[in-house]
Amino acid sequence: MKEMERGSRTTFLKRVTLFCLPFAGGTASVFKTLPESLGVIARMVPLELPGRGLREAEATPKTVDAMVADISAQIDAEGEAPYAIFGHGLGARLAYLVACRRRAENRPEPLLLILAGEGPPEVAPWRSGLSGLPEDEFLKAAVAAGAYPEEMLKLTSRMAETVGPPLRADLRAFDAFDPPNAAPLSCPMLVILAGRDVVTKREADRWSRRTTGRFEMKVIPGVQFFFLKNMPALGKAVYDELKVVVPSETA
């Protein structure tokens, strides 16, 4: 695996599998153009929870523990390659919890944990209280709270009907979840915020207390779901950080 850069030849000693987790109620399809911005350093594998997208026929997980177990099993199914995890919003919460679970099981932590559009629970509470709202209020309230992008609801006439159940299930699971007070991870962590995010820089900076490894924060112009219209900006942020943490040789 080789990458040409500024007239020199950089050979990455490890090719990373980049697992991507979407926002609450989201599907793997939102990341379909991300590989175009990652170069050869990473192989992107979008992950999908049961009850949505290609796994729509499967029963939706009712608890956060079930979600984490499902995601960890999907990572295992891809083999032993070095890996990174990216998650946005509720997906960032799951990415962090999966890393904690695998560390607790004495398994390798990710080479890089990438968390976007979310803060840790002590400053950005993970219980939204939205899951019990009636149908005619739920989606509007979820969009207003930043849990789901309004532009996605406008794609098709059936979108609201399709999105509602998995989105409510995701939020309900976290409404009943007590986040662990886990010891810090040791893996590098990249936090990505939009310029006009629902999470503040001060809130996002508290993730730095959740790892003893390298910590970086990048702010990308736009609103919370900026990458839906500007996937190259997300890809560049991820790629630039992977170049730092993935071992390489330069000829």
pLDDT at 151: 80
**Distance separating alpha carbons of residues 66 and 174, to the nearest angstrom:** 12
Which CA distances in Å does 183 have to 46, 72, 100, 103?
A: 27, 19, 9, 10
pLDDT at 11: 60
What are phi and psi for residue 36, nearest 5 degrees?
-60, -20
Q: Torsion over CA of 236, 238, 241 and 243, rounded to 10 degrees?
A: -70
Low-confidence stretches of the chain (pLDDT beneath 70): 1-14, 154-160, 249-251
Provide the residue ranges of all domains of the chain, joining segments of one domain with +.
Answer: 2-126+182-241
Q: Buried b vs exposed e over 2-24: b needs ≥16 C-beta within 10 Å?
A: ebeeeeeebebeeebbbbbbbbb
Q: What is the pLDDT of residues 57-90, one digit of tens each?
A: 999 999 999 999 999 999 999 988 899 999 999 9
* Distance (Å, whole) CA 141 – CA 22: 19
The pair of structure tokens assigned to 69 is 């177990």
What does the pLDDT read at residue 160? 64
Q: Are strands 112-116 and 189-196 parallel, antiparallel or unpaired?
A: parallel
Radius of gyration of the chain (CA): 18
Q: How far apart are CA 132 and CA 75, in angstroms?
A: 32
H helices present in 105-247, as ranges: 135-144, 150-153, 159-175, 201-205, 231-245
State the CATH class of domain 2-126+182-241. Answer: alpha beta
β-pairing verdict for 8-12 and 2-5? antiparallel
Backbone angles phi, psi at 89, to 5 degrees: 60, -125
- Residue 251's pLDDT is 42
Are the beta carbons of 194 and 117 closer than 8 angstroms?
Answer: yes
Q: What is the pLDDT of residues 151-184, one digit of tens each?
A: 877 655 566 677 889 999 999 999 999 999 899 9
Amino acid 75: pLDDT: 96
Chain mean pLDDT for the chain: 90
pLDDT of residue 155: 58
CB 50 within 8 A of CB 58: yes
Q: Which of 90, 107, 93, 78 is nearest to 187 (CA)?
A: 107
